[in-house]
Amino acid sequence: MSGSPRITRRPLSLGAAARELSGPELGGVVLFAGRVRGERRGPGRVVALEYEVHSAPALRVLRDLDRAARQRFGVERTVLWHRVGRVPAGAISVIVGAAGGHRAPAFAAARFLIDELKRTVPIWKTERARSARRPRRRPRPRIARATG
C-alpha cells in the first residue's frame, strides 16, 4: 500500500508526509525534503525557483518509480511529492520517503527515489534572483551661490 505520487502547486508538508508513512508494522521510516536555497548570485540572492513540468509523463514516471522502489527494496509505503510553480527560498520543493520493516531498505529506497526523480522526471527549474544593490541616490542639485 502506498500513497499516490503528487505534483502540486501548493506548499508541501513534512508532517503530512510522515503521516503517510506511519503504521505499527513500519519500523524503518526515512524522509527526505529538498528546500530551495537562497544562495548568493553576484550582488543579489536567489529568492525563488520557478518549476515547470510536463505533467502527464511526469506523473507516469513518478508512478513507475514508486512501483520500482517497492519491488526492488521491499518497502511498504512511499512518498513522492514535488511542488511546481514559484517556490520561494526556504520552502520545500520536494519530499521523498520510504517506510518498511527495517531501516536499510528504507534508506536505500529513499535514496533511489530522489536520485531517479532528479534524473528521469520531466521537471525543470529556473532561478529567480533579486539584486541586493540599493538603488543609487540621485545627486543633489548644486545650487549656485549668489555672489556679490
Partner 1 sequence: MVRPVRVLLFATARTAVGRAELDWPVPGQGISARALADELARAYPRLRPTLRTSRLVRNGRPIDRTSVRIRPGDEFAVHPPYGGG
Task: Determine if 70 is a binding residue for partner 1 (CB under 8 A).
Answer: no
Task: Determine if 34 is a binding residue for partner 1 (CB under 8 A).
Answer: yes
Task: Determine if 30 is a binding residue for partner 1 (CB under 8 A).
Answer: no
Kindly tell me which of 26 and 59 has the beta carbon lying closer to partner 1: 59
Could you say which of 12, 94, 108, 110 contacts partner 1 (CB under 8 A)?
94
Long-range contacts of 8-14 (CB under 8 A, 24+ apart): 8/81, 8/82, 8/83, 8/84, 9/83, 9/84, 9/85, 10/83, 11/83, 11/91, 11/92, 12/81, 12/83, 12/91, 12/92, 12/93, 12/94, 12/95, 14/92, 14/95
Residues in contact with partner 1, counted by CB under 8 A, come to a total of 21
Site residues, partner 1 (CB under 8 A)? 34, 51-52, 54, 56-57, 60, 82, 93-94, 114, 117-126
